[in-house]
Every structure is written in C-alpha cells, then in structure tokens.
Amino acid sequence: MRIALTYNLRRSRGEAHAELDSAATIRAISRMLGELGHTVVRVEVSGEPERVIGRLRAIFPAAGSESPPLHLGLDLVFNLAEGLHGTFREAFWPAVFEQLHLPHTGSGPSVLALCLDKALANRVVAAAGVRVPRGQLVRNIDELGDLPAPLIVKPNFEGSSKGLRLVTRDVRSAVAEVLAHYPAGVLVEEYVEGADVAVGWVEGLGILPAIHYACDRPILDREAKVRGIPVEIAPLSAQLRLAAERAFAALGVAGFGRADFRVTPDGEPVFLEMNPLASLDPEEGDLYSAAEAIGVSRRGVIDAIATAAAPRPALRRRAR
C-alpha cells in the first residue's frame, strides 16, 4: 500500500511534548512499514492545518471527492498524531482524514475525543459494569467537595501522567495548583491501593497479556515515567480480561489501544483510563512486549494495525 505516516514530532523533553513521538520512533515505524512492502510518505502535522491539508491533497489528489479512487494516491494514513492544543486535539486529524475520505489507522475522532475526557470515559466504562475510582470533575475550585485524602489529582484532558499527583493533605491547594496549569478541568479521585497494570489490544491479535509496571513509587507519575519503569508480562486473570473487554467495547476503540487499571490486593481491576492512541515507541515497547509474549513480532504488530484499517481494494492489491 501507499501509506502516509502522520505524526507530531517531539522537539523537547519537556512535559508539553511528553505525548509526542521522537524522530527515532518515526524512523522505526517507517522502516517496519517499508519492510512489509509498503511505500511510506512521512507527514509531520504540527504546522498550520491548511498547509498540512495541502500536503495531503498533493499526495492524494482525489481527497475530498465523493468516491475517492484509491489508486490515484494514498491507500491509508497510518496515524500517530496526538495534536497540540485543546480538548479535541487527538481527534482533530482523524476528523480531517474522515472529511477528506482518507482511511486511517486507529479509532475515529468521536472515540478519541471521548477517551481524552477521563471523567466521561469513566462514566461510560462504569455503565458497562467495570469499577472506576470514586471522584469528582472540578472546573472551578469552588466546585471542590469534601473528599477524604489520600486522593489522586490529575488533569482531565491530558495523558502521559502530565500533572498527575498523589495528595495526602491540603487538597484544595493542590487542586487549585493543577487547575491553574490545566484550566479545562481537573479530576479528583480516590486513591486505590494496588498495582498498576495495563492491557493492550490489537485488532486481529485480540486482547494481549497483562503489562505489569514494577514501579517503586505509589503511582505512575511523570517522574516515574521519565526515569523509566521496568515492565513484566504475565497472563491475564479472568477478572482483568473481562474488565478490559468491557472497557474496549464500551468506548468503541478500533484498531489498537491500551486500557490502564489499578488491580487491588484482592485482584479486583479498577479502570483508570483508556489510551486509544497508545505509544508505538520501540523504546517503551509495552504493546510490543505483550505481543511478543504470544509470538508476534514488533513488525507483526504494525502489520496488524495497518491491515485492520486498510480499505478492501488496497488489501486485494497487496494480496496479488
């Protein structure tokens, strides 16, 4: 297939760029797609949207037509773009791709927007019968209720543990401080005792083995992730598998993703958040490690993600 690899390039190691991809990651994924026989065009989407759309139109002249003839340009967008601003940022480029009739990997814009809103995602998953932490979304400090410490305080619309902290006293000051940096909203939740475990899913491969994080801190905050966290892969318990299956289904995740849980000492999984645009950084390797435990290589993971999103004519051409 002819594939456009879309991404936001990480230009600093600061917190603002924590979710973005390094040049090494882009090279690695581009190389793996090339080894699978695809032709790859890299498209950095951090500039002005008009310029990027013009670039996509130049690659794919038929973009925007009612019945795009796929043979004229791209077959697929392999999307890694996280976006840079606002509560809709992860969904922005997939929404553009939809309007341009460009098939893309991963979930659609509505799912990406839903999952970035942690409070709303929790409500959806809780309705599917999975335990979530008790908590409150705070958009103004005067809304803060009387919640007993210890508490988890985190921005409602961020990932990569940005702004995440464990608060044991002076909750109001802590919430006010995080809210000052992330005014779109702060989620204040009960602290759940237990271990941090994630479950990955890739269409075509299914639910993957559990990813256990061997962290020496009470929570996987930004400092822990910067230092690096040892990962152990283990079989899924029946409870964790069921919780993960319900979370992925309820949120409508497509292509691939990672559900994060806190597993209590008695084995109950508590849903923390869903990442439908999980990192494919070979250095982090969480999804890759889980796939390797069932005999699937890193290139196999990339192949499964691309194949799941490919339009039928492209698949037929590849089969020939």
Residue 310 domain-assigned (yes or no): no
**pLDDT computed for residue 18 by the predictor:** 63
Pairing of the two strands 76-79 and 256-263 = unpaired
CATH number at residue 273: 3.30.470.20
Tell me which residue range forms the domain holding 90: 2-106
Residue 55 domain-assigned (yes or no): yes
**pLDDT computed for residue 69 by the predictor:** 40
Q: Which residues, including other chains, have CB under 8 Å from residue 96's CB and lie 6 or more apart?
A: 49, 53
Residue 201 domain-assigned (yes or no): yes
Q: Are residues 20 and 162 in the same domain?
A: no
Q: Are residues 25 and 168 in the same domain?
A: no
pLDDT in tens, 192-248: 999 999 999 999 999 999 999 987 778 877 677 767 778 899 999 999 999 999 999
Residue 86 domain-assigned (yes or no): yes
Q: Are residues 176 and 215 in the same domain?
A: no
Q: Are residues 203 and 243 in the same domain?
A: yes
Domain count, the chain: 3
**pLDDT computed for residue 242 by the predictor:** 98
Residue 319 domain-assigned (yes or no): no
Instruction: Report the C-alpha gap between 221 and 136 in whole angstroms.
Output: 20
Scanning 117-169, the segments in alpha helix (DSSP H) are 118-127
Residue 317 domain-assigned (yes or no): no
Q: Are residues 123 and 256 in the same domain?
A: yes
Q: Are residues 173 and 51 in the same domain?
A: no
Q: Are residues 122 and 239 in the same domain?
A: yes
Q: Measure the CA dihedral 71/112/267/215, to 10°.
A: 90
**pLDDT computed for residue 68 by the predictor:** 45
At which of 168, 190, 212 does a domain end?
Answer: 190
CATH number at residue 172: 3.30.1490.20
**pLDDT computed for residue 83 by the predictor:** 86
Q: Are residues 93 and 11 in the same domain?
A: yes
Decide: helix, strand or coil at residue 164. coil
Q: Which residues of 43-72 are buried (b: 16+ CB within 10 A; e: fewer)?
A: bebbeeeeebbebbeebbebbeeeebebee
Residue 165 domain-assigned (yes or no): yes
pTM: 0.90
Residue 312 domain-assigned (yes or no): no
For Cα atoms 116, 121, 122, give the angle at the middle one, nearest 5 degrees.
Answer: 130
Q: Are residues 210 and 277 in the same domain?
A: yes
**pLDDT computed for residue 63 by the predictor:** 46
In DSSP terms, 269 is beta-bridged to: 263
Q: Are residues 284 and 267 in the same domain?
A: yes
pLDDT in tens, 12-42: 666 555 678 899 999 999 999 999 999 999 9
Q: Are residues 123 and 269 in the same domain?
A: yes
To the nearest 10 degrees (0 to 180), the angle between helices 118-127 and 109-116 is 100
Tokens of 156: 């409602």
Q: Which residues, including other chains, have CB under 8 Å from residue 242's CB and lie 6 or more apart?
A: none
Q: Are residues 206 and 82 in the same domain?
A: no
Task: Residue 268: name the closest of 127, 119, 130 by CA.
Answer: 130
Instruction: Report the C-alpha gap between 166 and 171 in whole angstroms.
Output: 10
CATH number at residue 16: 3.40.50.20
Task: Residue 197: name the closest of 185, 186, 207 by CA.
Answer: 207
For the chain, which residues score pLDDT lower than 70? 12-18, 60-73, 222, 226, 312-320
